[in-house]
Structure 1
Amino acid sequence: MARYGQYCPITRSLELLGDRWTLLIVRDLLVGAERFNELARGLPGLSRGLLSKRLDHLVRAGLVAHVDGRYLPTQAGEELRGVVFGLAEWGSRWAFGEPRADELDATVLLWWIRGGMDATAFGDRERTVVHVRFRSGARRQYWLVVSRGDVSLCFTDPGFDVDLRLEGDLDALYQVWEGRMEYGAAVRDRRLVVTGPTDLVRALPRSFRFSPVAPFVRQAMASLAR
């Protein structure tokens, strides 16, 4: 833990939270990740060893409780919600723009989408399989198996009939998920192409809960348009 040698609540806060990856771990805990593997999947640039070290630090600092294999924000951790999403609001206005190539990881995006899908949008169907295919990138194909109570992300064909096919540009789907581009606009411009039965095609955008930062990004985009 870095020490700044200044008696100030801001420096004390930075001593707890200023190390690389720490606030992103807190972000993921606040939006529902609880297990070590969940956190690791959502932060692939972070080694498992360093993730373990950062979590131990947060537990010792009283920001996170480790209970039965789950990492849960304490009251102190929950009260960081305003700080984390305050950064989201500020960043949406002053630091967010076109995505850079090094920020586009298809697996991370599909992992986020998997965690934010509402199966009820597809009605009473037992299972809906979405085949996602990107036009470029190291890994181009994924399958989302959406059932009530669970959404699975598969890297190989799970063997079920495909109900929907989503093909498009990775940067476009990222911007839709983050609220920087409207889903309808991406479809009209054929940045995203969805094929399948009409009722399922219409249900797909309703199944997306979108990123928790999307409201801030949309608000920032609307203010720029005025």
Structure 2
Amino acid sequence: MSRYGQYCPITRSLEILGDRWTLLIVRDLLVGATHFNELARGLPGMSRAILSKRLDLLERHELVRRTDDGYQPTDACRDLGPIIFGLAEWGARWAFGEPRQDELDPTVLMWWIRGGIDPAAFGERRVVLHVRLPEARRTRFWFVVDRDDVSLCFTDPGHDIDVLLETSLSTLYQVWEGRIDLLAAVRDGLVSLTGRREVLMRLPDALLFSPVAPYVRRARLTSPAT
């Protein structure tokens, strides 16, 4: 933990939260990640050793507690919500353009999407969504959506496909983050959606999109050049 040698609540906060990755771990805890492997999958650029070290720091300062169900944010951690999403709002307005190549990881995006699919939108039936990203280093993914669970598969699960989504990885990231509207992307030919009509009709309700998408959409409205 870095010390700044200044008696100030801002420096005390930075001594806990200012190291690389720490705020992103807090971000993921606040949006529902609880298990070590779940956090590691969402932050693949961070070593597991660093993740363990950061979680230990957060636990010592009572921002998380370890339970039988994994890591749970405390009230102190949840109080960081306005700060984390305040950064999202600022970043969407002032620092968020088209994605860079080093930011495009297809597996990370699929794990994010898995956590943002609402099975209730499809009712009682099982739905299989097949995603094809022709230009990505991994090109094919399947989501198997059951009533109470969403599974991400990296090989064909052997079920009939209800919806096929084809697009570039860059476009899908921007749709997920709210920078490009899904239906507009389909209309403009950036995204191809084919499959069972009744499932396609429910898909926009099933996709909850990124927790930062509302801030990105608002920035688009107020700053057309963003």
In 1: Cα distance, 2:146 partner to 2:224 partner: 39
Q: Secondary structure at the residue paired with 1:96?
A: coil
Give the aligned partner of residue 32 of structure 2.
Answer: 32
Between stretches 197-206 and 146-155, larger displacement belongs to 197-206
Contact in 1 for aligned 2:123/2:147 (Cα 8 Å): no
Give the aligned partner of residue 131 of structure 2.
Answer: 132
Give the aligned partner of residue 10 of structure 1.
Answer: 10
In 1: Cα distance, 2:141 partner to 2:205 partner: 20
Give the aligned partner of residue 49 of structure 1.
Answer: 49
Q: Secondary structure at the residue paired with 1:190?
A: coil
Give the aligned partner of residue 154 of structure 2.
Answer: 155
Counterpart amino acid of residue 4 in structure 2: Y
- Cα-to-partner distance string for 1:106-161 (whole Å, 9 max, x where unaligned): 11111011001011222331x11111000201100000000111000000111111
Give the aligned partner of residue 58 of structure 1.
Answer: 58
Q: Secondary structure at the residue paired with 2:152?
A: strand
In 2: Cα distance, 1:67 partner to 1:86 partner: 29
- Cα-to-partner distance string for 1:29-67 (whole Å, 9 max, x where unaligned): 000001111111111111111111110110001111111
In 2: Cα distance, 1:37 partner to 1:202 partner: 34
- Cα-to-partner distance string for 1:71-130 (whole Å, 9 max, x where unaligned): 1111111101111011001111111111111111111111011001011222331x1111
Give the aligned partner of residue 225 of structure 1.
Answer: 224
* Runs of 4+, deviation exceeding 2 Å: none
In 2: Cα distance, 1:157 partner to 1:213 partner: 31
In 1: Cα distance, 2:123 partner to 2:76 partner: 39
**C-alpha RMSD of the superposition:** 1.1
TM-score by length of 2: 0.97
Structure 2, unpaired ranges of 5+: none
Structure 1, unpaired ranges of 5+: none
Contact in 1 for aligned 2:127/2:144 (Cα 8 Å): yes
Q: Secondary structure at the residue paired with 1:180?
A: coil
Structure 1 residue 69: Cα displacement: 4.6
Q: Secondary structure at the residue paired with 1:225?
A: coil
Counterpart amino acid of residue 161 in structure 2: V
Give the aligned partner of residue 198 of structure 2.
Answer: 199
Give the aligned partner of residue 104 of structure 2.
Answer: 104
TM-score by length of 1: 0.97
- Cα-to-partner distance string for 1:177-198 (whole Å, 9 max, x where unaligned): 1111101111012211011111
Give the aligned partner of residue 213 of structure 1.
Answer: 212
In 2: Cα distance, 1:158 partner to 1:199 partner: 22
Give the aligned partner of residue 75 of structure 1.
Answer: 75
Matched residue pairs, number? 225
Counterpart amino acid of residue 208 in structure 1: L
Give the aligned partner of residue 120 of structure 1.
Answer: 120
Q: Percent identity?
A: 64
